Structure 1
Amino acid sequence: MVEDVRDEMPGGESERSVDQIEFVVRHHTASENDDAHSVARHHTEVNGWRTAGYHEIILRDGTIQLMYDPEVISNGVGGHNTSTYHISLVGAGSFTEAQEESWRERAQYNLDHLGLGINDVRGHQEFSGHRGNECPGRDMDAVREELEAYMDDQNDESDDENAEDNGGNEEDDDTLELSDWQWDMLEEHVEALEDEGHLDEGRWSPLVRERDLTVSELSWLAFITMSRQLQDEVE
């Protein structure tokens, strides 16, 4: 579930172009009882920041709270905020599977929309000046490995669905649906064309008689019929 609380967040006046975003950053809140509002209060009233630190926060049940637009410069990683988009998980190094699922979904979503790749996912402590920070509370190599596997699975599923859709469409497009009188008329004309020598005798009439002619075959039938008639006229 996604909750949009952006209108309820403080600050947000400092902005950048989305094209300036180079990294999606993972954080943790270091507490298991936070939400967007408590985090925003702490960051502004205790830390004294005008804008809170995260663009999104993921609660323990997997609920995603949107805090700021991507264009807003939040205060997630001091000295690197113009180029970073921040997602924080509520917790102190231990997270629920619901949170991890939401994290993977949101990480992929933002990577896709920002034109970034798996190597552009960083943890708070991976930025210069923040090496001693315990945030985000997980080994980022493992996080990236899980995310990459998830993204590969999503792409495979998408390819399979597209293949099924295309297959279904091809089958529908290739099915010739005619009424009884249309089939009868087509059969009559095909037999006449065979008798006149415009079509190979006995090749097409059985397909029409059994009503087993496809759209592509009908197109080819029309083409060769027209070609042979034109050839006869020239001769």
Structure 2
Amino acid sequence: MRRIDYIVVHCTATQPNASPEAILRYWRQVLGWKSPGYHYLIKKGGEIVPLLPESEVSNGVKGYNSHSVHLSYIGGIDGKGFPKDTRTAGQKESILCLLHSLKTRYKNAKIQGHRDFPGVTKACPSFDVRAWLKEVAPDLL
């Protein structure tokens, strides 16, 4: 099993109704990625879609992928393409459930948003992960 230092929360920077298939197609055809950007994708209704085994490396945060597990909710932008927290109640519940499950397996891993890594200039995941966790699940920090 590979060492996991980070559990990273992302948004897809798409409209909330984007399909997992369209996102996967974009990664393959436009970006040329062989592996998905995340291990888990969370649909608008809260359904968790596994994309890649945790034992494999995804394309989540350049320079940190070999020691990270990545999850993303579908959404994260408003109608004009600007960053916006578009998480539904179902997505919030699924993110928390998944984070608890991952933290059980990777006890020493730090949970943070994509934007919290050095040199990252994106707004992803369009909310402050650590501040949110302090409110709803301080046991995960």
* Same fold (TM > 0.5): yes
**Residue 96, structure 1, aligned to residue 61, structure 2:** no
**Residue 22, structure 1, aligned to residue 5, structure 2:** yes
Q: Which residue of 2 aligns with 1:122?
A: 112
**Residue type of the alignment partner of 2:105:** H
Q: How does 1:51-200 map to 2 (within 5 A)?
A: 51-92=35-76, 93-116=85-108, 120-130=110-120, 132-149=121-138
Specify the SS of the correspondent of 2:126: coil
State the alpha-carbon separation in 1 of the partners of residues 22 and 10 from structure 2: 16
The question of whether the paired residues in 2 share the 8 Å contact of 1:61 and 1:99 is answered with: yes
The question of whether the paired residues in 2 share the 8 Å contact of 1:121 and 1:144 is answered with: no
**Residue 38, structure 1, aligned to residue 30, structure 2:** no
Structure number with bigger Rg: 1
- Per-residue CA deviations over 1:132-185 (Å, capped at 9, x if unaligned) read 11100001232221452476xxxxxxxxxxxxxxxxxxxxxxxxxxxxxxxxxx
The question of whether the paired residues in 2 share the 8 Å contact of 1:77 and 1:124 is answered with: yes
Distance verdict in 2 for CA 1:62–1:112, change over 3 Å: same
| Larger strand proportion of the pair | 2
Q: Which residue of 1 aligns with 2:33?
A: 49
Specify the SS of the correspondent of 1:27: strand
Q: Which residue of 2 aligns with 1:188?
A: none
The question of whether the paired residues in 2 share the 8 Å contact of 1:23 and 1:121 is answered with: yes
State the alpha-carbon separation in 2 of the partners of residues 35 and 142 from structure 1: 28
Q: Which residue of 2 aligns with 1:193?
A: none
State the alpha-carbon separation in 1 of the partners of residues 115 and 130 from structure 2: 12
State the alpha-carbon separation in 2 of the partners of residues 149 and 80 from structure 1: 24
State the alpha-carbon separation in 2 of the partners of residues 80 and 69 from structure 1: 17
Moved segments of 4+, more than 4 Å: none
**Percent identity, aligned pairs only?**
29
Backbone CA RMSD of aligned residues: 1.6
**Residue type of the alignment partner of 1:74:** S
State the alpha-carbon separation in 2 of the partners of residues 91 and 150 from structure 1: 26
TM-score, normalised with respect to structure 2: 0.85
Q: Which runs of 5+ in 2 are unaligned?
A: 77-84
Post-superposition shift, 1:129?
A: 2.2
- Per-residue CA deviations over 1:113-147 (Å, capped at 9, x if unaligned) read 12236xx10100111221x1110000123222145
TM-score, normalised with respect to structure 1: 0.53
